[in-house]
A and B are shown apart, each in its own frame.
Chain A
Amino acid sequence: MTGNRLRAEGLVLTYEDRTVVDGLDLEIPDGQVTVIIGPNACGKSTLLRALGRLLKPRRGSVLLDGTELARIPTKRVAQEIGLLPQTPVPPEGITVSELVTRGRQPHHKWWQQWTEADEKAVTEAMDRTETGDLAERPVDELSGGQRQRAWIAMALAQDTDLLLLDEPTTYLDIAHQVEVLDLVRQLNRERGRTVVVVLHDLNQAARYADHLIAMKAGRIVAQGAPGDVITGDLVQEVFGLASVVVPDPVTGGPLVVPGAPGSTDRSARIGRHG
């Protein structure tokens, strides 16, 4: 079938001499929200960086529409794939509206810096992320949630079919986390964008993913619909954590509750640490 736009084949990713991902095949389903989960240092962010051509594979390749990503001019890639790193650093003193405008950079020619398409994309990105009120504020002075919204607005203004987000909820409180993830899902539902998100919260992943990829030590342990993937055994295998999976009272999806069945929460914790 392989009608999917973004694929990886035989991917080997290394930092200096340390191999982080070794021989990984992957397909990102079009038009869905894919969430990658896994314990710290399992290679999930590294994988995302490779999918967004920030990291060159040592071997194997990432394919966009069947063409090796490394062979496509980086500006062309930027017109198809938007990516938000985990901790992006803004230019000092930049305002929110200018930051969002920078997202249009891949579409600019030197003599066309502000077209109607630019205006439309920027306006829409700011509307969606509700950053219109912040337009004049410097990004440095925003709160964590506001700042994250501004960055997402920039990625949205890039107007790409594929959007990669590396732990977009880090440093946010629970309300802002939900807000950001709701926004991500809304983007996918309304515009049919393909979104790949790296998350570390299992339950958030279960709730927001259409397609879930569980990684451990540089390889994929399981993937598929969250209801199929998330089981007590998987959590034990991937995170080394005893847990019970129950139906989420809100969505009916899987909900992971840490602790060994039949014991109290307290003893489970002691068991883990002692």
Chain B
Amino acid sequence: MTRPVGFAVLRVGRASFLLHRRAALVAVLLGAALALAAVAYLCVGESFVGPAEVVRVLWGQPSPDAFVVGTLRMPRLAVGLLAGAAFGLAGSFVQTVARNPLASPDVIGVTQGAGAATVAAMTFGVAAYDTLPYISIVGGLAAAALVYVFAWRRGLHASRFVLIGIGISVALGSLTQLFLTKGDFLVAQQAKVWLTGSLNGRGYDHAAPLASILLVLTPALLWAARAQRSVSFDDDTATALGVRLGRVRLGLIVLGVVLASVATAAAGPVDFVALLAPQIARRLSRTAQIPLLGSALTGALIVTVADLLARKLFSPIELPVGVFTAVVGAPYLMWLIVRTRSRSGGPA
């Protein structure tokens, strides 16, 4: 035996990296599927544009369809891809720290917190448009902190954490409704569209903050990819292996909450993507922890395909993409509940 089974070793000079072969292969395939889905997404709409033409536009060559593909469909696709990837990453971090596939940012109230804060800002008219993502982050973090504070009682019991999270998310959902009632009719209409988790009418001004935040967070993501492995043991074993658990957990949670909030600010609370993507990616890769890249790609793929269906299935009527992700995600959550084996509780 020269190396752990299923891994390849990459050597560059004195540096060496372990690569999970199957996870790498799955990531490549997911990337290819995502590219196909993206092209399909750009082809389909009120008018069909041939794939060849789409590729021409993507390469920046002049084309009669440049407006439809480049100006109408591209920005929306960009929001979908980025938000899906962010949801996938966020779910991966929160589920890893909670060691529980049920604890995803949309089940425990993070996205609802981001939503409530954003709607409050919209209806009370305090915020300029481009500050919304940051308000959303504040809302998400506040919701997570609230859940944490209420669930803390001589330690953090996993089920209490989830129950309180559900409660807080219902309360925040109601708060959002309250703000909607309060607000000016037009703003309320706008907020409502946003709240259904729809990509309709999303453009580069939604994608830009999301992209820049993801870019800024890249070093943190590289750290997280390694940190995720170290917290997948129980507390004692992890500590024995030299992991600073408190710090690593906090870092991962904050990262997850920030990503979920930013994605929510851009695309609205698209249900269940953060729940689904990490688990699908893990099952495909058969790794011992959630593969980050795979999870991000899966998230992006889910949102892209769901929005494609949402746009086309009942055309000319467009459904919010959140409807589709919920129709797939909710039964998956139910299935998870049925098959849960109670693993050691541990802090959530």
Contacts and interface: CB of A to CB of B under 8 A. Distances in A.
Q: Do chains A and B touch in the complex (CB under 8 A)?
A: yes
A136 B5 contact: yes
Interface in A70-92: 74-79, 81-85, 87-92
A91 B16 CA distance: 23
B60 interface: no
A122 B7 CA distance: 14
A103 B15 CA distance: 19
B334 interface: no
A98 B240 contact: no
Given A95-B4, A97-B5, A113-B18, A74 B286 contact: no
A116 to B, nearest CB: 9
- Give the interface centre of A77, A90, A91, A112 by most chain B CB atoms within 10 Å: A91
Give the bracket for the number of chain B residues in contact with chain A.
35 or more
Nearest to B13: A111
A184 interface: no
A92 B344 CA distance: 12
Interface of B is mostly: loop
Interface in A157-193: 158
B16 A85 contact: no
Contacts of B234: 85, 87-89
A54 B237 CA distance: 9
A126 interface: yes
Contact of A74 (B2, B243, B343, B344): B243
A122 B9 CA distance: 15
Contacts of B16: 111-115
Contacts of B289: 91
B241 A106 contact: yes
Nearest to B241: A105
Interface stretch (B130-138, B185-193, B224-232, B265-273): B224-232
Interface string B212-246: 00000000001000100110111111011111100
B153 interface: no
Contacts of B226: 110
B17 interface: yes
B338 interface: no
Contact of B236 (A82, A88, A90, A95): A88
B347 to A, nearest CB: 12
Contacts of A98: 4-7, 288
Contacts of B240: 52, 54, 78, 81-85
Contacts of B339: none
A93 B22 CA distance: 14
A2 to B, nearest CB: 25
A81 B242 CA distance: 10
B346 interface: yes
A133 to B, nearest CB: 10
Given A75-B242, A102-B229, A123 B18 contact: no
A179 B288 CA distance: 28
Contacts of B230: 105
Nearest to B343: A89
B317 interface: no
Nearest to B239: A54
Contact of A89 (B7, B222, B243, B346): B346
A101 interface: yes
Contacts of B244: 74-75
Contact of A114 (B3, B237, B288, B344): B3
A158 B232 contact: no
A130 to B, nearest CB: 12
A135 interface: yes
A41 interface: no
A101 B288 CA distance: 12
A65 interface: no
A123 B2 contact: yes
Given A88-B234, A98-B6, A105 B288 contact: no
A113 B17 contact: yes
Interface in B324-348: 343-344, 346
Contacts of A75: 242-244
Contacts of A49: 236
B4 A16 contact: no
Given A53-B239, A113-B17, A158-B241, A93 B346 contact: no
A85 B242 contact: no
A141 to B, nearest CB: 13
Interface in A107-157: 110-115, 119, 122-123, 126, 132, 135-136
A87 B236 CA distance: 9
Given A54-B240, A77-B242, A97-B6, 12 more contacts: A78-B241, A83-B236, A83-B240, A84-B240, A98-B4, A101-B4, A102-B241, A105-B230, A112-B15, A113-B18, A114-B16, A119-B3
23 contacts: A53-B239, A54-B236, A78-B240, A85-B236, A85-B240, A88-B233, A92-B343, A97-B5, A98-B5, A100-B4, A102-B233, A103-B241, A105-B243, A110-B222, A111-B15, A112-B15, A113-B17, A113-B18, A114-B16, A119-B2, A126-B1, A135-B4, A158-B241
Interface of A: 16, 49, 52-54, 74-79, 81-85, 87-95, 97-98, 100-103, 105-106, 110-115, 119, 122-123, 126, 132, 135-136, 158
